[in-house]
Amino acid sequence: MSCQVQFRQVYGVFLTLKSLDVNTNQLEGEIPDTISNLTNLGAISLFTNKFSGSISHDFGKNSPGLFYVSFSNNSFTGELPPELCSGFALQNLTVNGNNFTGSLPACLRNCTELLRVRFDGNQFTGNITNAFGIHPKVDYIAFSDNQFVGEISREWGDIPVAVGNLSLLFNLNLSRNHLTGDIPQIVGNLEKLQYLDLSGNKLAGDIPVDLEKCDPLLSLDLSHNNLSGQIPRQLGSLSNLQYLLDLSSNLVSGTIPQDLGKLASLEILNVSHNDLSGRIPTSFSTSMRSLLSFDFSYNELTGPIPTDGVFKNPNVSKEAFVGNSGLCGVAEGLIPFTDIIRATEDFNGKHCIGSGGSGNVYKAILPHGAQVVAVKKLNLSDSEEIQLNNQMFQNEIRMMMKVRHRNIVKLYGFYSSRELMYLVYEYVEKGSLRSMLYDEAECEVLGWPTRLKIVRGLAHAIAYLHHDCSPPIIHRDISLNNILVESGFEPKLSDFGIARLLNPHSTNRTAVVGSYGYIAPELALTMRITEKCDIYSFGVVALEIMLAKHPRDVLSSLSSNSNNQKLFLMDVLDQRIPPPNGQIAKQVVFAVTVGLACARIKPESRPQCVLWHKNCQREHKLAWMNLWG
């Protein structure tokens, strides 16, 4: 039996009804038009059901004593009844969480008894001022998530005066509409206001200085507007501000006032996506002890990131400082850059542990020995300096920071200024594989099982970059210099993506990059970067690890059609250590076979992947699986 039929069956009983309360049930169907004939109705509560359809056009017309109406959290449609407040007794009107449309009823202008109004979460349109007048007793106004338009300061008519005289108002929420114009200074006269949310509109102009008069304010959200000017230092006088101060996604400029540090009770601060400059006030780290979350990202902030107080909280988001090219700190890793400068004595040469075409690498032991990192200072050309602050450029680095693999060096973060770029990596103890392989004293520790372990780990790292990252990452510069070895002889592939960073104009076409002797032959002709380029470099490296010399002569000999001489593997393997035997010998043979397959001249003849490929000979499958694990 439908709700409508039930209403009609007992309609005679309803004629003297003063209160109807059926909230929080599973009732459904439409509300019958005859409900508008209940002349004694004072309160109706239908919230949190499954009612649908529209409300009778005459509802309220014959109910002069109607003081409480709640249609919240249903599926009502259509417009609100035009005579909803014809008796001028209405105190509570909550219709939030429906699909009401149209403008607000004009009769609301004279509902001077209103205490609580909620229209949020509907599809209302038009100017709020067409219906909303002077309501000196109201304490709660919520119009969020609608389609209201108009300028608060000009088109609201009496509303600025009315709002300024709402001495009891503690909640004002106009968020996520299409309101324009300035925020009226008179908002500061709301002496009881605790929650103010004007976010998600198109408001412009300055943030009102008079907001400092709203001393009870607990939460202030002005985000996602077009506000400009500076952050008023007077906001620091809002001593009770506890939950939120959100000024993000505006056009606010200038410095962050030191006075905001007085907000000792504030838990959430967001000033991201503005044009703020200067330093983050040091008072924030020492005075704002209640901060649980903060966001300074995507501004023009400079100087050091504070390193004490709330900024040392391990739960702080690593995204809180990104997009500020002038911040002196490894923002994404929350490692203060000032600590790195001290640890390297301003990048003194005695702390340099390596150098290459892309830059020098320094070892930095952070204060109190808490952490050791490697810092790469990039060599940038003039064109690359121009790209340095490009958003795409920095997004590339942030993509690299998400890479997580046991055989890939972890990138902690970066620091950039207008002319410099530093990348901060985990420190790998034993250094580069090249230095170990070609050091007569070190080569003996690189026995055949260790070399197979290194080749295997390198293969897993490349396969991860090519197949497990989205989008795939092509290293572009795989060589012995870029393979580091940690204490357990586990290999770590480093400098992944560096060549891409320094050639940011194209995704798959580039100038010839990489280390001489490891670059795929087709690059000189096609200038096209593909995964097959990395596979070629891997093949060269795998052979070099086994031969302890660059395999160019071996590869040249095998590719020459006129050379009929046979090549014996035992003659070309590293002669400084005893030859492999048993199962290890079989794996060495297979590793060399894989290296030769990967280093073929024609890219289409190389394997699709360094771990396994469908064209591999059947008899090699088990050996391949045993080798790579």
Q: Comparing C-alpha atoms, which of 451, 437, 438 is closest to residue 588?
A: 451
| Tens digit of each residue's pLDDT (9 = 90 or more) over 344-376 | 888 898 999 887 666 788 999 887 666 888 988
Asked if 529 and 583 sit in the same domain, the reply is yes
Better-scored residue on pLDDT, 562 or 74: 74
DSSP symbols for 440-503:
TTTGGG--HHHHHHHHHHHHHHHHHHHHTSSS----S--SGGGEEE-TTS-EEE--TTHHHHTS
Sheet strands side by side (includes 300-304): 253-255, 275-278, 300-304, 326-330, 335-336
In a domain, 308, yes or no: no
In a domain, 347, yes or no: yes
| Tens digit of each residue's pLDDT (9 = 90 or more) over 241-280 | 999 999 999 999 999 999 999 999 999 999 999 999 988 8
Structure token digits, residue 33: 């038009």
Cβ count within 10 A of residue 614 = 7
196: amino acid identity, one letter: L
pLDDT, mean over the chain: 81
612, 582 contact by CB (below 8 A): no
Q: What was the pLDDT predicted at 567?
A: 65
Domain C-terminal end among 426, 449, 467: 426
pTM comes to 0.59
Asked if 608 and 459 sit in the same domain, the reply is yes
377: annotated binding-site residue? yes
| Cα–Cα distance measured from residue 411 to residue 394, given in angstroms and rounded to the nearest whole number | 13
Q: Report the Cα–Cα distance between both ends of the chain, in Å, rounded.
A: 67
CATH value at residue 595: 1.10.510.10
Asked if 358 and 482 sit in the same domain, the reply is no
CATH value at residue 353: 3.30.200.20
pLDDT surpasses 60 at 5: no
Distances (CA, A) of 461 to 358, 465, 476, 531, 594: 21, 6, 13, 13, 16
| Cα–Cα distance measured from residue 413 to residue 407, given in angstroms and rounded to the nearest whole number | 18
Asked if 460 and 582 sit in the same domain, the reply is yes
Domain C-terminal end among 426, 441, 468: 426
| Cα–Cα distance measured from residue 488 to residue 172, given in angstroms and rounded to the nearest whole number | 62
Structure token digits, residue 62: 């014959």
Structure token digits, residue 606: 């190389």
Q: Comparing C-alpha atoms, which of 385, 381, 373, 383 is closest to residue 416?
A: 385
Domain C-terminal end among 405, 426, 447: 426
Asked if 522 and 598 sit in the same domain, the reply is yes
Residues acting as catalytic residues: 477
Q: 537 is in which domain, residue-wise?
A: 431-559+566-617
Number of structural domains in the chain: 2
Better-scored residue on pLDDT, 286 or 566: 286
| Tens digit of each residue's pLDDT (9 = 90 or more) over 492-548 | 998 765 655 544 444 444 444 556 788 888 876 777 788 898 999 999 999 999 999
Q: Comparing C-alpha atoms, which of 252, 262, 204 is closest to residue 231?
A: 252
Q: Which residues pair with 29 in a beta bridge?
A: 51
Q: With pLDDT > 90 as the criterion, what percentage of the chain qualifies? A: 35
Asked if 444 and 590 sit in the same domain, the reply is yes
Sign, Cα dihedral of 534, 539, 544, 549: negative
| Tens digit of each residue's pLDDT (9 = 90 or more) over 536-594 | 999 999 999 999 999 888 888 777 654 555 667 888 898 899 999 999 999 999 899 89
